[in-house]
A and B are shown apart, each in its own frame.
Chain A
Amino acid sequence: MEILVCARRVPDTSENEITLNSAGNDIERDELVYSVNEPDNYAVEEALQIAARIGGNVTVVTVGGEDDEEILRREMAMGANHGVLITDEAFSGSDGLGIATILKAFVEKGNYDLILTGVQAEDGGAQVGGMLAAMLDYPFASLVNSIEVLEGRKLKISREIAGGDKEMNEIDLPCVLSIQTGINEPRYVGMRGIRAVASVPIPTYGASELAVDPRSVGGAAARVKRVDYFLPALGKGAEMLEGSREEVIDRLVGLVAAKGGLK
């Protein structure tokens, strides 16, 4: 099975406190720690496990800039056969539709049976996978948390719905699935693994190679635009307990006891 995984490099919210810059219109981008968008990493692991079970190849693709190559190498160190960087000045400022348009052009150059995305990017809208599927006229399922390959170019999948219940579906190939965290346990990648793929060439594609009309993507074509970031006015806000740890604990125990929180 030929599997394509779409992945993005994002500021890692488990490693950074995301705050506003001093101008108050963007997030503070100095000294951010970046990593693979969390569900995308689960998607790569799932692709690798499927390929190991039934045979096939895993390609990881990202639309971004030069810096984003690092996540492709990371995912290749996990075992992905190929990494592809799609980059072009004309692509910058694309909205979700623009990214899906670019990815569609790339998909059409290949021959993929299965395309995986993450459920949502840290700064995204849980949209690229569903848009890409609709553009390709492939079936789509979101929030996928298990995949079983059936005979006759079909998969049996489960989707995570409310309350942790699972919605079981059968879906025809080729299809696009958005992968939810927890579907598997992504393998660990050490420095040695990353070094081993450090010099593998990574092909890049731009608008002309993909025959994407530059006017159909990028900031100018975007119908959805982020104007700025801001911190919302605090709600009532918590009463912050300050002082030494002993003092804080004394106060807390009193408050919690008053609410019936101590047996």
Chain B
Amino acid sequence: MPRIFAYIAHKGGVADDSAAELAAVAKKIDAAATLTAVVMGWGAELDSVCNAVRGSYAEVWKIANESLVYPNAELVRKALVKVLPAGGVVLVTHEHFGIDLAPGLSIKLKAAFVSDVLEIEGVEDAQLKVVRQEFGGQVSAHVRCDISSGAVVTIRPGAFKPLESTPVSGSVNDKSADVGVLTASRRYLQTMVAESGDVDITKHNVLVSIGRGIQEKDNVAIAQELADAMGGALSCSRPVVDAKWLDKSRQVGSSGKTVKPKVYLACGISGAFQHLVGIKGNPFIVAINKNPKAPIFQVADVGIVDDLLEFLPELTNKIREMHGVSAK
């Protein structure tokens, strides 16, 4: 079996939650593997990250380099290519940084590449057997990846139960000297924090959330009326923001807000993973969708197969009636 490495994302001296998930993935690939965590960055916070992952990784490679103060994927790739041996399996979390780093890394390591993996089914004859999703999660696929000359594999965050950290503590190996000077043709400038909008959807207990199924801008009012009747707020999926029907501050998901309501009404939302990861705190999820096979029905508590353009106004009227407001 090839050696398995995990690239550890971290911020402010804290390892990303996915660090223990990648360790679990590595154990699924090879239960007997000696796991190596690669921790790159600069400054004292690097040591706290190295320390924190010693519980899940037998070996921790520390790479301190001043140019890695901010994780610029081009610099990180160059550093990894210098330290990683040929033929290893490299695990990276599938989020904005992994998407930036991993495909190019696989080219430079001459390794195979498979992305956004949600299940590992084992290794057979140097074929890593994994499960992925396609078409926004409407279907899954069994995929085989030839790892005989190594592989870079990105892992969907949250898909694997984190490996419980053991008292056995890994050793920290300082590999900084192997890296040397790094230069990049892409330079990080600054991070611009998302603007907050008129309504803070993260603070609401009831969210009426609309997706592409709302079909046009004029229909947004239907959902707003329901949200008003329920005493909640209006949120949405990404296509609604892309179409400029609602402000970005209303978007739920990996590139939007993380919300923790008590009740979440998903109206005309298919249930793609990037949307679902933004819904936390185990709310009561109601899905209204005209497609009975929409993936949202797998995660919802209650499902209704109907046309939302007809269903929502009737629901609004019913709630208004209950509140003693005469229906329009």
Q: Which residues of A are at the interface with B, using a C-beta cutoff of 8 A?
A: 11, 13-14, 17-20, 27, 96-97, 100, 119, 122-123, 125-131, 133-135, 138-143, 156, 158-172, 175, 180-182, 185, 223-232, 234-235, 237-241, 245-246, 248-250, 252-253, 255-256, 259-263
Contacts and interface: CB of A to CB of B under 8 A. Distances in A.
B180 to A, nearest CB: 19
B95 interface: yes
B260 to A, nearest CB: 13
Interface string B247-259: 0110100111110
B175 interface: no
Given A143-B96, A238-B287, A239-B303, A167 B188 contact: yes
Nearest to A261: B263
Nearest to B145: A224
Contacts of B300: 238
A229 to B, nearest CB: 5
B49 to A, nearest CB: 18
A256 B205 CA distance: 12
25 contacts: A19-B293, A123-B134, A131-B103, A131-B107, A131-B113, A134-B108, A143-B255, A159-B100, A163-B257, A163-B258, A168-B191, A169-B188, A224-B146, A227-B141, A227-B142, A235-B299, A238-B297, A238-B301, A240-B305, A241-B302, A249-B311, A250-B318, A256-B286, A259-B263, A262-B231
A229 B100 contact: no
A96 B292 CA distance: 32
Contact of B186 (A141, A230, A253): A141
Interface residues of B, number: 94
Interface string B44-75: 00000000000000000000000000001110
B113 A97 contact: yes
Given A156-B189, A160-B255, A230-B139, A165 B297 contact: no
B113 A13 contact: no
Interface of B: 72-74, 77, 95-97, 99-100, 102-108, 112-116, 131-132, 134-136, 138-146, 184-194, 205-206, 212, 230-232, 238-239, 241-242, 244, 248-249, 251, 254-258, 262-263, 270, 284-287, 291-294, 297-306, 310-311, 314-315, 318-319, 322-323
Summarize A's interface: helix, strand, loop or mixed.
mixed
B103 A165 contact: no
Contacts of A138: 185
B163 to A, nearest CB: 22
A129 to B, nearest CB: 7
Contacts of B248: 164
B113 A185 contact: no
Closest 5 CB pairs of A and B: A263-B231, A130-B103, A261-B263, A238-B303, A134-B104
